[in-house]
Structure 1
Amino acid sequence: MIIIILMVVLPVRQIPNQKMMRLDIRQMSTNSTLSASPSKCEALFSLHNNTPKIMGVINLTKNSFNSIGKFHSVSAAVDYALSLITQGADIIDVGAEATNPGTAPQIDLAQELSMLRPFIKTLRKETNIPISVDTSKAQVMEMAVNEGANLINDVRALREENALTTAIKLKVPVCLMHMEYPHGLPTRPTPIGDIIQHVSNFLLARVKVCLELGMSAKQIILDPGIGGGSFGKSAKQSLQLIKNIKYFTQFGYPLLVGVSYKSYIGDVLNQSVEKRSAASLASAIYCMQHGANIIRVHEVEQTKQAFAILDCITKS
């Protein structure tokens, strides 16, 4: 209830002329020498005007903020991923590095490779569903795609060494997320003013760099990076981003949103992580109704049911 009240009073940003913005994006890509490439997973290149996709989360890490989808063995993680697919997941997103508030420094390359390789390799043998790898490291991206991953989900928006050139070479869809503090929260964070404009400017700047260096526009997915900690948003700013999620659709790229169990819910409702399920679902539904193409969630079955009944209500 508190979240709904806050969402009502927060302002909704007006979307500028959509055709003009898309023209600007196309002009950005005039320096690109790479033509649109065939996808290893065509469904991910045609997200517009389709039913929103549900991305189920798998965490191969000991310090993830949420126990749901967190595993320390490959077999258990694969079994859980298969159960998420049965529940209705359209994409499985797997990561080995926690980015939530208060976590330890990121794991090293060898650890990340050793954790992700067997999972991706095993899951790919079991299913043809798209696999997303949540990583910022170029070597991990390359390994993951070679083992069968179809999507790179990078919270640091390809800012790490060799990440951008590797993603271009791999020619798979890439999600560029806004993360204010890619290398950890500073002692005195700089306050962000207009969060909508701030995130928009960052995402468009990253898109421009990607296109100029040769990435196909068809590879790009955007994520405003809702959440606190290294993501850099206060609870109010996270709510502003959610309420204005439609604003980000004007840029002409598919939109991925992760709102599941995030810190803003705890801050607003004063609830521990394990008690944020209903608020997570409400947030996911709002984003789905306002233009998000991929919703990243921990609880697939509930999200699938909610989306299905809303669709039935709309069509009745």
Structure 2
Amino acid sequence: MGILNITEDSFSDGGKFINLKDALLQAEKLISEGADILDIGAESTRQGAEPVPEDIELQRIIPVLTEIRNKWQDIPISIDTRKSKVAEAAIDLGARIINDVSALRFDPEMADILSSHPQVKVILMHMQGEPQNMQNNPHYEDLLGEINAFFEERIAYAEVKGISRDRIYLDPGIGFGKTAEHNFQLLAHLEEFKIHQLPLVIGVSRKSFIASLDNSSVEQRLGGTLAAGLVAVLKGVEILRVHNVQAHRQFFQVLKEINEVSEWTS
């Protein structure tokens, strides 16, 4: 899943793709590098980020999504939004996944919109707190147990609202209300979230928990991103949400080739 941030303040690439031309060039780059899905977001959810008004989010997403759909009809589109009106407008333009970092808690109408569009899938992400305060001393008595209980409750809510289980993905929310230690614990135990028998989505790309080890800048975190991505895949994660599609494609292609040669020679 290639990330396309059309935001002013995303932690990794805020402001780079805010205008239509730059956004389309980045979309073309991600698709040409082998992205299976484009995830488009117009509201940053980094630590301390302020909410973006609904009308601004729509003004950013609609032109970009319209042009992408005109140029590339086959690429599946995910929209990273917490707002039902943004989701509905994007669905009308062909979006097939809604990536809701609030797990249907922010906007009470989001579940109803999804229920009325049975062709659309949803990503339910765990976050302790809100983007503005989520990193203010996050605390858990039982990290894995609390996240699994959250997923169980959110899945049940979605089903009651008419969203069937086969439309749901789960994201444990690396970096969303978690310390670096929490994030490493999550990555080490991702298999614990398979108890729900639903596909997992993970976003580790360039995140600050990597820098907790070496004080690296955002641009210097590709190695850590690939290491975390490999662990995620080995533990059964179905979708990696990434900025560097080409590097991930190459990384996993080389591993796959080595594995196939090893099986053949043995």
TM bucket, shorter chain: over 0.9
How far is the alpha carbon of 1:187 from its aligned partner?
A: 9.3
Distance 2:64 2:134 in 1: 33
Distance 1:214 1:293 in 2: 24
Which letter maps to 1:175? I
Do the aligned partners of 2:206 and 2:221 also contact (CA within 8 Å) in 1?
A: yes
How far is the alpha carbon of 1:183 from its aligned partner?
A: 5.7
Partner of 2:144: 196
Which runs of structure 2 are paired with 1:203-242 in the superposition (5 Å)? 203-227=151-175, 231-242=176-187
Q: 1:232 to 1:190 in 2, by over 3 A?
A: closer
Cα deviations by residue, 1:54-110 (Å, 9 ceiling, x for unpaired):
x0001111101112894121121112111111111000001011111132x110000
Which runs of structure 2 are paired with 1:71-150 in the superposition (5 Å)? 71-103=17-49, 105-127=50-72, 128-150=74-96
Q: How many residues align?
A: 258
Cα deviations by residue, 1:36-57 (Å, 9 ceiling, x for unpaired):
xxxxxxxxxxxxxxxxxxx000
Matched, 1:61 2:1: no
Point out 4+ residue stretches in structure 1 off by more than 4 angstroms. 186-190
* Equivalent of 1:252 in 170, 177, 197: 197
Question: Sequence identity, in percent?
Answer: 37
Partner of 2:214: 269
Partner of 2:130: 182
Do the aligned partners of 2:8 and 2:18 also contact (CA within 8 Å) in 1?
A: yes
Q: Runs of 5+ in structure 2 lacking a partner?
A: 262-266
Q: 1:183 to 1:69 in 2, by over 3 A?
A: closer
How far is the alpha carbon of 1:263 from its aligned partner?
A: 1.5
Q: Runs of 5+ in structure 1 lacking a partner?
A: 1-54
Distance 2:136 2:46 in 1: 18
Q: 1:153 to 1:276 in 2, by over 3 A?
A: same
Q: Matched residue of 2:123: which SS? A: strand
Distance 1:84 1:280 in 2: 17
TM-score if structure 1 supplies the norm length?
0.78
Do the aligned partners of 2:201 and 2:239 also contact (CA within 8 Å) in 1?
A: yes
How far is the alpha carbon of 1:272 from its aligned partner?
A: 1.8
Distance 2:34 2:142 in 1: 37
Distance 1:254 1:186 in 2: 25
Which runs of structure 2 are paired with 1:305-316 in the superposition (5 Å)? 305-316=250-261
Which letter maps to 1:210? A
TM-score if structure 2 supplies the norm length?
0.93
How far is the alpha carbon of 1:186 from its aligned partner?
A: 6.6
